[in-house]
Amino acid sequence: VEGSEGRESGYWRLSKLAVPARDDPGKDFTGISLPLLQAIAKAIKFPVASMLPDEAFTVIRKSFDARKVLKEPQFTYTVDMDVKKLLDMEPRAWDFIARLEPKLGAVEYMPKEKLASDLVSMLNASSKGYDNELGIKDTHNGSICPQDKKPRVAVIGSGPSGLFASLVLGELGAEVTLLERGQPVEQRGRDIGALAVRRILQSESNFCFGEGGAGTWSDGKLVTRIGRNTDGVQAVMKTFVQFGAPPNILVDGKPHLGTDKLVPLLRNFRHHLRQLGVTIRFNARVDDLMVEDGQVKGIMVSDAELRPGSGSQKLSFDAVVLAVGHSARDTYNMLQQHNVDMSPKSFSVGLRIEHPQELINSIQYSELAAEVQKGRGRIPVADYKIVKSVGEKGAEELDIAEQSRSCYSFCMCPGGQVVLTSTDPSELCINGMSFSRRASKWANSALVVTVSSHDFKPFQSHGPLAGVEFQREFERRAAVMGGGNFVVPAQRVTDFISNRLSVTTLPPSSYRLGVRPSKLHELFTPYITEALQQSIIMIDREMPGFVSSEALLHGVETRTSSPLQISRHGETYESTSLRGLYPIGEGAGYAGGILSAAVDGMYCGFALAKQLSLFHGDI
Ligand code: FAD
């Protein structure tokens, strides 16, 4: 067939292949079923589906789709077709391959195997195996550290960004010290248990601080807005699989891990870092930077053995990677004292809404809801994702004409629970988590409204930390409304939109430390409350039943992302104001979740390794 030369090998990527949910083997099956072969046969116009060999196809993505616009719920697949394998086993397919036309977003020809450049195999090869083909330089000429010794790098914080920066730098031969103010996951789990049962909040070991960072006791959703198929995200996902995550996260349309899968994964990560020679110090809070002539020369650490009273330990380093997350307010203060370039950044605040999971299943799936079976069934537990734009009544206060605000669901946890993410007992803030099966009877999600520096005006005397003070104000109000002891202020959604206190008994909540009926409609500034109220009413039109007497709002959700950004140079990741400091991850304002934080840490690791003359490749 004219124009078909060269197609005897390579891959076709077939997307948007639909299999009705009733015919599909279910959410956990990622192989090639007959109904999927039928969808493939239709896409390539091959007459007899059963004659297509399974071996020629690989599922790249599988998502469940129950949108109301569809005739019936379906699984949607993306599949790679290996032409050579197909033709070896079914030569008659050639006529169809030769005629296949690329179709935007549905059928795409890839002359070679189109895989993310495999950073993972590089990361996990023994460092002795690296040679100049991979771009590793064997001399240290031009390096920012002396030539006769390994460069010493401190990584502050063991969240996803700090872990991945440590991994890359450790693999590439730097002498890495990873400092974490919190506890390893085993002790951290006990501390979180004590919080849930005995109301003891450890200031350094809690839902935000400790090994694995803020996302460890979380839903472990591995979704990101930075592009699922990008090399960086693929490398991070594959690294997770190498450290014990289930391989289906590479295929699931909406992958998630859950706390029970994250904890062993982190243990394996720690073990691997130690094998590489990375020194890991838990219970080691970095309190200050040692700065000389505009350059960071080291850090001041106070660790458990030294605290309290006996002062800090000074440690010298050639470079310091700052991966502290968005709740290290003391660290932000310290950076401000060193005049590090930082500026306030937009983020979002709001409330967390909780419904019975069965109600969300029936809203989203109608009669198919019965098949969910607490995460064990063929159909995934229902979730939702909503974005609304609402009119801005308080615009005049903000000096912005005709502004509208975005209100959206955030960090939705199907089959999960509401948890306390405060790091200080005088402040109260919450988030959501789940286990891998997502089997709890509740579905929770934050409903949040974007706020920006205009909103932080009352706190502008705090300079770049104005957004932090804005957060703190509402966290303190929430703590007072709850009446103390980490009791969370709560209100029925029906009462919230009518501006009245809930007087009858509140519906049950998954939050373990108790809820108290409160006037949440008085917690925020009126324009935030009104934006939330308007959007909740709009959501109910799209998802009838969302406004229900069984739906409970909890306050307050403030730490959706960093309230500031630490300026850095695009290519080198180095701070614009302090040489030798490398701010990364969510706390520095460059990430908004587990994956994006990990990717930022990984690329910073490579950029820094280049400056240390440990690496010369292109990433
Ligand atoms: P962090 O993970 O915050 O890590 C920073 C680390 O630095 C912490 O371990 C902290 O103890 C340490 N540290 C801070 N200051 C110092 C210091 N001075 N010295 C030494 N160590 C220090 N994201 C998702 O993508 N999916 C989810 O499902 C999800 N659910 C979440 C649920 C909860 C309850 C929470 C709190 C967050 C959730 N997130 C989720 C967000 C996600 O956890 C963060 O975006 C991500 O962890 C940011 O990574 P990071 O490395 O930038 O910072």
Range of the domain at 357: 346-557
130, part of any domain: no
Q: How far is the CA of 440 from the centre of ligand 1 (A)?
A: 24
**Between helices 160-171 and 231-242, what is the axis angle to 10°?**
90
- Domain identity same for 410 and 499: yes
Say if 115 falls within a structural domain.
no
* 227-231-237-240 Cα dihedral, nearest 10 degrees: -150
Q: What does the pLDDT look like over 102-147, one tens digit per residue?
A: 887 788 887 654 433 445 555 555 333 333 333 333 433 444 555 5
For residue 431, the ligand 1 atom closest to its alpha carbon is 34
pLDDT at residue 403 greater than cutoff 70 = no
Please tell me if the CB atom of residue 11 comes closer than 6 angstroms to any atom of ligand 1.
no
Place of tokens 């991979």: 134
What's 576's domain CATH number? 3.50.50.60
Verify that 421 and 478 share a domain, yes or no.
Answer: yes
Of all atoms in ligand 1, which is nearest to the CA of residue 587?
52
Helix (H) or strand (E) holding 203: none
Q: What tokens appear for 195 in the block? A: 């919080």
Q: Is 221 in the pocket of ligand 1 (CB under 6 A)?
A: yes
- 530 in the same domain as 596: no
CA distances (Å), origin 322, targets 9, 180, 286, 422 = 46, 11, 10, 21
- The CB density around residue 291, as the number of other CB atoms within 10 Å, is 17
568-576, Cβ contacts within 8 angstroms, sequence gap of 24 or more: 571/607, 572/607, 572/608, 572/611, 573/603, 573/604, 573/607, 573/608, 574/611, 575/340, 575/341, 576/341
- Does ligand 1 have an atom closer than 6 angstroms to the CB of 237? no
Query: Which residue is listed with tokens 């996302």?
Result: 215
Q: Is the CB of 281 under 6 A from ligand 1?
A: no
- Same domain? For 597 and 533 the reply is no
76 burial class (0-12, 13-18, 19+ CB within 10 angstroms)?
middle
Q: Are 407 and 535 in contact (CB under 8 A)?
A: yes
Global confidence as pTM: 0.90
Close Cβ partners of 241 (under 8 Å, ≥ 6 residues apart):
247, 249, 250
Side chain identity at residue 295, one-letter code: Q
Q: Looking at the structure, tell me whether residues 496 and 523 fall in a common domain.
A: yes
Q: Which of 537, 535, 546, 492 is nearest to 515 (CA)?
A: 492
Looking at this predicted complex, what is its ipTM? 0.99
* Residue 562 and residue 465 in contact, taking contact as beta carbons nearer than 8 Å: no
278: in domain: yes
What does the buried/exposed string (b/e) look like for 250-260 if buried means 16 or more CB atoms within 10 Å of the residue's CB?
bbbbebbbbbe
List the structure tokens of 226: 């930075």
Choose the weakest-confidence range: 143-147, 292-296, 589-593.
Answer: 143-147
Does the residue 438 lie in any domain? yes
Centre of ligand 1 to C-alpha 585, Å, is 9
In a domain, 1, yes or no: no
The CB density around residue 393, as the number of other CB atoms within 10 Å, is: 14
Q: What is the tally of structural domains in the chain?
A: 3
Give pLDDT tens digits for 187-212. Answer: 999 999 999 999 999 999 999 999 99
199 within a domain of the structure (yes/no): no
The rounded distance, in Å, linking the Cα atoms of 185 and 102 is 49
DSSP state of 89: H
CA 214 to centroid of ligand 1, rounded, Å: 3
213 Cα to the center of ligand 1, angstroms? 4
Report the pLDDT value the prediction gives residue 5, as an integer from 0 to 100.
65
Q: Looking at the structure, tell me whether residues 302 and 448 fall in a common domain.
A: no
For residues 259 and 210, the answer to whether their CB atoms sit within 8 Å is no
Q: Does 225 fall in a domain?
A: no
pLDDT at 416: 95
Contacts of 225 (CB under 8 A, 6+ apart): 592, 596
The rounded distance, in Å, linking the Cα atoms of 374 and 381 is 7
Residue indicated by tokens 């994956």: 595
Domain boundary, last residue among 110, 125, 158: 110
CA distance 362 to 346: 35
Residue nearest to atom 33 of ligand 1 (CA): 218
CB 421 within 8 A of CB 559: yes
Whether 372 and 265 share a structural domain:
no
User: Which of 118-132, 230-244, 379-393, 512-526 has the largest mean confidence?
Assistant: 512-526
Q: Are residues 38 and 152 in the same domain?
A: no
Are 490 and 509 spatial neighbours (Cβ–Cβ below 8 Å)?
Answer: yes
Kindly report the CATH number assigned to the domain that includes residue 50: 3.30.70.2700
Q: Is the CB of 414 under 6 A from ligand 1?
A: no
Locate 156 and state its tokens: 């502050």
Fill in the amino acid letter for 85. Answer: K
Ligand 1 in reach of 214 Cβ (< 6 A): yes
Long-range CB contacts for residues 391-398, cutoff 8 Å, separation at least 24? 391/534, 392/527, 392/531, 393/526, 393/527, 393/530, 394/525, 394/526, 394/527, 394/530, 397/527, 398/454, 398/455, 398/527
CB of 220 shorter than 6 A to ligand 1: yes
What pLDDT was estimated at residue 122? 57
386 and 476, same domain (yes or no): yes
* Dist CA 587 CA 605 (whole Å): 17
The contacts of residue 79 (CB under 8 Å, 6+ apart) are 13, 14, 17, 32, 36, 40, 57, 58, 59, 60
Mean pLDDT of 590-618: 93
At 296-328, the pLDDT tens digits run 999 999 876 555 555 689 999 999 999 999 999
Residue type at 554?
H
| Residues 590 and 154: beta-carbon distance below 8 Å | no
Q: Are 393 and 457 in a shared domain?
A: yes
Structure confidence at residue 8 as a pLDDT band (50, 70, 90): confident
Three-state SS letters, 27-71? CCCCCCCHHHHHHHHHHHCCCCHHHCCHHHEEEEEEEEECCCCCC
Q: How many residues does the chain have?
A: 619
Same domain (yes/no): 322, 374: no
Q: In this structure, are 268 and 413 located in the same domain? A: no
**Does any domain span residue 476?**
yes
> By mean pLDDT, which of 229-233, 269-273, 395-399 is the weakest?
395-399
